[in-house]
Chain A
């Protein structure tokens, strides 16, 4: 399969991707592409990345057999890739570290980032503190309210958190505002985009940094079980944790890849974030992908109980995998995600973030239909401390 060579020179995965940005940024994107090409071809760059993955992030993260969960569900054996145990509590740190090192190589002193759930913001703040870069994080006011713990963590780590009050006051607006900052300060600033969205080379670069999740999983599967999993399940907002764990398995057709989008209050309520399920092809934030938009091409306001999934677009590589059938995508509601959340707490003593709780719910539906010889690998992309207030509120409301 040609998946490993994508994107093409222009940043396309099939018809998805590209570079739809104001002219001011074209030079910066070309510079970033060149810097990344150079770094990606330099074994010393990857050696430093891997050393810090080990010593700073605590990689490799465990591949954990969720035996009690598996036994309760009956059927397939469920394994969790424990990205929740990575430093700062989610997979986001992998990409933040990679891009932080790249920013240093490019001589940039200032970093801007967007954050939804706050995990990418915290990861960026941590990496910038460590590497001596100035971090400015844009965050929607609604997300600042529901993820107040992460706002405090970012500030402790020395980042400046700038509230964004436009639109739905969530991730979409935070990205727009971060791009505006980048347009203005492009000479000395690197935009540390946190998901596999945005203009070329971001979708590729973010995937490459997150692919460490899939590579480790593959090695760990082979070492422990002598085989690959039958299913890999991961949540998809922009889709970086999913692309990270999917990508090293793309050429293994026996491994079924399933992305789980946020169905919010239900796919027919208009209050969800399921871009692949209900979107149309369009252009937002520099890339062509499936987008939730109205008939006039105005981008829709989205909803998910998981701030990290609350985004109207999705990475172009996911669009391509959906189109080619290499991966399939399903959607899970807020209520179902809460069930997945509580299920993992009760069976394994692990509090997942609300984002991967979507993946857990879907795995719990699938597992009983499979045999005990089959394996489901879930990317447990983050831990749930940040979501405790949201969950408490939702359970009080009887959601």
Chain B
């Protein structure tokens, strides 16, 4: 069983952090801690100068990380260091240009060497993904595609056939960032995808707390949380971050036991 497949033995909790935000030390501290607090996977965000799918929180985190000199190469080194301390899957999340600039094949090779399990590239739809699909396959990485509430049936089918590891369901039409509520059509959206795919389905964008996680877990296989965690990292109090992740863990476990 691959590390990524193993993550779905229970309702999966996947956390996103921007590498190097607020500092490299903070990344090296929180990512292993996330495993201990109950996460089943971590997305390591490689910062990009023009993150067009991201809201204010991750934009700011990305700009700050770039100002501090974070590069894809450094992210690869940090991933290798984290991998040596952790067993849960690590995924890189970034935009396509840094990957293209690094060299698609070289980036996949380096990611695999660093012990990274998969890639999520929000501005790379399957139509443009052929080259990266081939390279990720060659190096044993999963390439996770995204679906949105606006995705038509034929697109759902395409992503169901080509996504590997899981499918990332964007909960809403919008950019990343916590929301007070998730859209009413979320359950119907997840069912539409479920009908086409046997892959695990993880819901991200907008997740602000345990109530939303519980709702998502009723229909999906995992929850992805990013911006809210980064906001908590800004205050610098690890107990708040820990409390937040543990609450989500409990909400998912509660929901998992109900099913």
Contact = CB atoms under 8 A, between A and B. Distances in A.
A332 to B, nearest CB: 26
A298 B98 contact: yes
Nearest to A27: B150
Instruction: Name, among B49, B123, B124, B128, the residue most crowded by chain A CB atoms within 10 Å (CB to CB).
Output: B49
Contact of A27 (B71, B95, B152): B152
A12 to B, nearest CB: 10
A28 interface: yes
Interface in A286-310: 286, 291, 293, 295-299
Contacts, number: 119
Interface stretch (A13-21, A141-149, A227-235): A13-21
A281 B95 CA distance: 15
B188 interface: no
Contacts of B50: 167, 172-173, 176, 284-285, 299
B63 interface: yes
A208 B145 CA distance: 33
Interface in A177-194: 179-180, 183-187
Interface string A15-48: 0001111111111101000000000000000000
A296 B173 contact: no
Contacts of A285: 50, 52
Interface string A114-138: 0000000000000000000000000
Given A20-B125, A23-B125, A183-B173, A297 B97 contact: yes
Interface string B121-145: 0111101100000000000000001
B97 A26 contact: no
Given A172-B50, A183-B175, A297 B99 contact: yes
A297 B100 contact: yes
A24 B147 CA distance: 7
B97 A291 contact: yes
A283 B52 contact: no
A25 B219 CA distance: 24
Given A18-B128, A295-B101, A297-B100, A167 B123 contact: no
A176 B123 CA distance: 12
Nearest to A301: B49
B72 interface: yes
Contacts of B254: none
Nearest to A172: B50
B123 A283 contact: yes
A270 interface: no
Given A24-B173, A187-B173, A283-B96, A167 B49 contact: yes
A126 B218 CA distance: 49
A186 to B, nearest CB: 5
Contacts of B148: 22-24, 26-27
Interface string B69-93: 0011100000000000000000000
B72 A297 contact: yes
A286 to B, nearest CB: 7
Interface in B92-124: 95-102, 122-124
Sort chain A's interface into a size bin. 35 or more
A183 B53 contact: yes
B97 A22 contact: no
B25 to A, nearest CB: 21
A26 B122 CA distance: 12
Interface string A250-283: 0000000000000000000000000000001111
A10 interface: yes
A395 interface: no
B143 to A, nearest CB: 14
Contacts of A28: 150
B236 interface: no
A81 B48 CA distance: 40
A188 to B, nearest CB: 11
Contacts of A20: 96, 123-125, 128
A286 B123 contact: yes
Contacts of A24: 148-150, 170, 173-174
Contacts of A297: 48, 72, 97-102
Given A20-B128, A23-B125, A183 B174 contact: yes
Contacts of A187: 150, 173
B98 A186 contact: no
Contacts of B100: 281-283, 297
A366 interface: no
18 contacts: A21-B125, A22-B170, A24-B170, A24-B174, A26-B155, A166-B63, A167-B49, A184-B174, A283-B95, A284-B50, A284-B97, A286-B123, A296-B71, A297-B98, A297-B99, A298-B66, A299-B50, A299-B97
Interface of A: 10, 18-28, 30, 166-167, 172-173, 176, 179-180, 183-187, 280-286, 291, 293, 295-299
Given A20-B123, A291-B97, A296-B98, 16 more contacts: A19-B128, A24-B150, A24-B170, A25-B150, A26-B151, A166-B59, A167-B49, A167-B50, A172-B50, A183-B52, A183-B175, A184-B175, A285-B52, A296-B102, A297-B72, A298-B48
7 tightest CB-CB pairs across the interface, nearest first?
Answer: A297-B101, A297-B98, A24-B148, A184-B174, A298-B49, A27-B150, A23-B148
